[in-house]
A = this chain, B = another copy of it.
Amino acid sequence: MKKIPAQVSSKSSTSTADQRRLQMADIARLAGVSTSTVSRALSRSPLVNDETRTRIEELARSLNYTINVGAQNLRLKQNRTVAVVVPYDVATRQHLSDPFFLSMLGSLADALTDRGFDMLLSRVDAEQLDSAAQIYDTGRVLGVILIGQWRHHDQLNQLAARHVPIVVWGAQLPQQLYVTVGSDNVTGGFLATEHLIKSGRKHIAFFGDIQLPEVAHRYEGYAKALKQYAIELNDNLVIPASFIEEGGRLAVEELCRRAIPFDSLFACSDLIAMTAINTLRDKQYRVPDDIAVVGYDDIELARYFHPSLTTIRQPIAAAGQALVEALLSLAEQRPTQPRLLQTQLMCRASSMSS
C-alpha cells in the first residue's frame, strides 16, 4: 500500500469535512518539481524531460491522482460534457418508460463515450424547455441533445434563436430554426401501409396522435400508400392513440365502438401495437389471421413478442451517432444540416397472412 502525504496545507476545514483530495501541488512537492512541470508532464507536453515525465506519471498513478476536470475546464474554457434532455409531461409525470427512448439513451451513451464526451442526463418539464437552455447557460455542457420533440416546435425554435447549441430527435418541420435528426417517418408510414396492402389487406386502421410531428409524417406515408394503391382513406379508421399508458387498448376499444370493419392496423409504436394485439386477442380476434398488425420502432422485444411483431425499424445506433455528430458540429459553430435516417420494414409474424 502506498502512503498518502499526511502533510498538506489545509485552510478549508469545511463542515462537510471532505478528506483533502490530492491536487497538483501535492504531486509537485512529492516529485520535487513545480506544478507547471506536473501539468506539462500529465498533458504529455514534449517540453518535459522523459525521465521526469515518467516519474511524475507513476507518482500520480500510484496515488490515484487525476487532474481536476472542473479547474481544467475553467482554465481552458473547454467542456466535454453534453446534456441529454428527456422532456416529461408534468401532468402524467410519464416515467421515461418507452423502451424506444430508453434504447436511444443507451445509444447516445455509447456514441458519446466513444468520442470521449460525458453525458449529463436531465429530465425537464416539457412545458419549460428553456430549463434545458439553462443547463447550457450555466456552462455545464457544450450543448444539448433533446429526445422528444412532441409539440414544442415553437419553444425549440426560441432556444435555437438564442443560439443554444441544440439538436432534437424528431421530425423536420417547415420554419425550423433548430437542427433535427430523425428517421424518415413518411417512408416508414408508407412502407408499413404498403406492406399491409400487398398482403391483401384493404381496411387498414391507423393508431397514432397526429398532433405529434413524427406521427403526422407517418400518417402522411400511410395516406400516400393508400392513394397509390387506390384505396380510399377512411377517417373512421384513424384513431389518436397515445404513446403513454395503454394507448393500444383504448384505441382498439374505440375502433370496435365505431363498428367499422377493419382487417389490419398500423400502430405508431411497438408498445401501442403490443397492447393493441393483446386487446384484440381478448376480443377473440386472431392476429394476424383476422387482423394483421404492423408496429413502429423495432424495439428489442418486438422479436420476442407473440406473434413476433412486424414493424418499422428506426436505426437507433445510427441515431445516437448522428445526434452526437450534429451537436458537435453545431458546437463548433459549423453550419449543420438536419439528418433524415432510413427506416426499414422488419417483416415478422404479426402481419403474415396465413
Residues of A within 8 A of B (CB): 12, 14, 16-19, 21, 64-71, 73-74, 77, 79, 81, 84, 86, 95-97, 99, 102-103, 105-107, 109-110, 113, 118-123, 133-134, 137-140, 162-163, 271, 274-275, 277-278, 281, 300-301, 304-306, 308, 317, 332-333
Contacts and interface: CB of A to CB of B under 8 A. Distances in A.
Contact of A121 (B95, B119, B271): B119
Q: Which 4 A-B pairs have the closest CB atoms?
A: A96-B106, A102-B102, A66-B137, A68-B139
Contact of A304 (B77, B84, B275): B275
Contact of A109 (B66, B103, B122, B271): B122
Contacts of A281: 306
Contact of A110 (B12, B95, B162): B95
Contacts of A120: 81, 118-121
A300 B270 CA distance: 13
B110 A96 contact: yes
A76 B306 CA distance: 56
Given A97-B103, A332-B16, A277 B300 contact: no
A119 B122 contact: yes
A194 to B, nearest CB: 27
A120 B112 CA distance: 12
A164 B17 CA distance: 15
Complex copy number for this chain: 2
A95 B320 CA distance: 12
A348 to B, nearest CB: 12
A138 B99 contact: no
A77 B14 contact: yes
Nearest to A67: B138
A278 B301 CA distance: 12
A96 B66 CA distance: 27
Given A99-B102, A301-B301, 7 more contacts: A66-B137, A84-B121, A102-B103, A105-B121, A118-B140, A275-B304, A305-B305
A74 B120 CA distance: 19
B70 A140 contact: yes
A69 B140 contact: yes
Contacts of A306: 277-278, 281, 305-306
A21 B106 CA distance: 31
Contacts of A308: 278
B74 A71 contact: yes
Contacts of A121: 84, 105, 109, 119-121
Contacts of A134: 66
A60 to B, nearest CB: 10
Nearest to A279: B304
Nearest to A63: B137
Task: Give the most central of A77, A102, A281, A305: most B CB within 10 Å.
Answer: A102
Contacts of A19: 163, 333
Contacts of A137: 64-66
Contact of A102 (B17, B105, B275, B305): B105
Contacts of A123: 109-110, 113
A77 B23 CA distance: 13
B69 A333 contact: no
A118 B109 contact: no
5 contacts: A19-B163, A64-B137, A70-B139, A109-B122, A274-B301
